[in-house]
Amino acid sequence: MTVQMVKDGDPSWKPTFIVKPDSGCQGDGIYLIKDPSDIRLAGTLQSRPAVVQEYICKPLLIDKLKFDIRLYVLLKSLDPLEIYIAKEGLSRFCTEPYQEPNPKNLHHIFMHLTNYSLNIHSGKFVHSDSTSTGSKRTFSSILCRLSSKGVDIKKVWSDIISLVIKTVIALTPELKVFYQSDIPAGRPGPTCFQILGFDILLMKNLKPILLEVNANPSMRIEHEQELSPGVFENVPSLVDEEVKVAVIRDTLRLMDPLKKKRGNQSQQLLATKENPSDSELAGNTNPEAHLPSICLKQVFPKYAKQFNYLRLVDRMANLFIRFLGIKGTMKLGPTGFRTFIRNCKLSSSSLSMAAVDILYIDITRRWNSMTMDQRDSGMCLQAFVEAFFYLAQRKFKMLPLHEQVASLIDLCEYHLSVLDEKRLACGRRGTVGARPPSSGTPQEAAPAAQLAEGHPPPCTNSAHRLSHSRHSPS
Ligand SMILES: Nc1ncnc2c1ncn2[C@@H]1O[C@H](COP(=O)(O)OP(=O)(O)OP(=O)(O)O)[C@@H](O)[C@H]1O
Ligand SMILES: [Mg+2]
């Protein structure tokens, strides 16, 4: 209905839509429509949910064919955020020459959908030994082609890096909440990483558009070949091998838990040997010296400066996590929310604690009824973000929205760091046998039972206890 209204308001806007049923994958069940009322509703959208997007009608073509790019991205660590992008990726081609969508070609999947799993059945799929021809090619071969036509490929690549960083930044707040519920902060434990598959479409004007992020991208390096009718054999796919082997190899090199230890050892070795020839010798003991150069390129924190302004929700998630309390929970209880308000000194004569409680109940109830996630009660991250925006608007009325929120985050982080310093000082005094201070603010002298709702350890605790709290320096 909204689409119809926008269309009526602007008759020149004649979009095509792509409908992706939730139940399908690998291109299965996807179809294009011109008219929103053509959506296939066997049952209701609720019983058959689908994602509907505006179809990008003007993709960049090579050899008259539409193609998309699969790039591998390593999320090496969430806190601190570390992102690597593989310099080499795959380009997956359609197998029927492209035409802009019209009623006659809407159903031509080999023209509009680039999925390998679909096009392999078109009869026109070209397996190739070369990485620059065929229906699956390396991304670098595409860049070479574009460069030879005078395209500024550095700009294309930097736009892609920017797209990847922005997307990961959008993912991290929720991921962090999940992560902390399984892995407590501040303790040595398992190190997790994830290889993500980014599907990107280049538009005719060379602007990259994100199609989707695959959490579990295929790492297959072979494909099926029909030797004789009905007889299939798995044969190596050179293009897949070139891209994927390097991604796995470099991921393992970067994640290797022993590497740090070895790194320290070789540094010690270098430090003790002042003679340059000895240092060279020490360098030669590097067990990775014979491996090909790294294909994974660090893009974050390398380009952090340019993107840190986007990390506001991430910083809100840090605050949220700090007050969560019980390990394993992903929702903030009413006491945790009150503690957040008190510790960040947000209540005032115009915002009473009673008003804070009402704010909590209102927003939490609405989000819990919307998300249908009734597993545990309490405030989810999204609800906390909404409450945060509300508080920011009240406190910094005169500023533009982004600055309102940024200012409130700065303020909260400031008060919490002051509190942390105080607690640390108290802890130190506690460990040398000093009398625990009795004149702390009411929240600092909170009873131990309140810890369960997210109270950071009280002032009288030792530094040892502090290191086990879920404080993440924000
Ligand atoms: N908005 C769009 N505009 C143009 N083409 C699109 C758009 N969205 C998807 N496509 C094409 O459709 C193909 C399939 O879409 P998508 O990758 O979103 O679904 P899928 O492959 O079925 O999902 P999954 O990869 O999770 O199995 C894409 O590879 C691309 O070629
Ligand atoms: Mg896909």
**Ligand 1 lined by 20 (C-beta under 6 Å):** yes
Expressed in percent and rounded to 5, the helix, strand and coil fractions of the chain are: 45, 15, 40
CA 410 to ligand 1 center in whole angstroms: 40
pLDDT score at 182: 81
Whose Cα sits closest to atom 11 in ligand 1? 113
**Other CB atoms within 10 Å distance of the CB of residue 208:** 21
Give residues whose Cβ lies within 5 Å of ion ligand 2: 199
Counting from 1 in the atom list of ligand 1, the atom nearest the Cα of 28 is 22
Q: Report which of 193, 200, 138 is spatially closest to residue 166, judged by C-alpha positions.
A: 200
How far apart are the two ends of the chain, measured CA to CA in Å?
43
**pLDDT over threshold 60, residue 436:** no
Which ligand does the CA of 101 lie closest to?
Answer: 1
Whose CA is closest to atom 6 on ligand 1?
55
Q: How far is the CA of 154 from the centre of ligand 2 (A)?
A: 25
H/E segment holding residue 345: none
Alpha-carbon dihedral sign for residues 440, 441, 447, 448: negative
Write the single-letter amino acid at 121. H
pLDDT tens, residue by residue, 187-224: 666 678 999 999 999 999 999 999 999 999 999 999 88
Under DSSP, the state recorded for 71 is: E
| Sheet strands side by side (includes 50-54) | 31-33, 17-21, 50-54
pLDDT mean over 268-288:
45
Looking at per-residue pLDDT, the higher value among 409 and 425 belongs to 409
Q: Which amino acid is at 360?
A: Y
For residue 261, name the pLDDT band (cuts at 50, 70, 90).
Answer: low
- This prediction has a pTM of 0.81
CB 71 within 8 A of CB 139: yes
Ligand 1 in contact with 18 (CB < 6 A)?
yes
Mean pLDDT of 350-371: 92
| Phi, psi at 338, each rounded to 5° | -65, -40
59-262+292-310, superfamily in CATH? ATP-grasp fold, B domain (3.30.470.20)
> 111 C-alpha to center of ligand 1: Å?
12
User: Is 334 in contact with 196 (CB distance < 8 Å)?
Assistant: no
| Average pLDDT value for the chain | 82
The closest-lying atom of ligand 1 relative to the alpha carbon of residue 94 is 31
* Whether residue 55 has its Cβ less than 6 Å from ligand 1: yes
Residue ID of nearest Cα to ligand 1 atom 1? 55
Beta bridge partners of 176: none
Q: 68 CB under 6 A from ligand 1?
A: yes
Q: Of residues 323 and 190, which shows the higher confidence score?
A: 323
Q: Give the tokens for residue 115.
A: 């999925």
Mean predicted confidence (pLDDT) in 23-46 = 78
Q: For the segment 85-126, what is each residue's pLDDT rounded down to a tens digit? A: 999 999 999 999 999 999 999 999 999 999 999 999 898 999
DSSP run (H or E) holding 405:
helix 401-431
pLDDT at 289: 57
| Token code pair at residue 221 | 């390096």
Looking at the chain, the domain(s) classified CATH 3.30.470.20 span: 59-262+292-310
Q: Which of 290, 296, 293, 344 is nearest to 316 (CA)?
A: 344
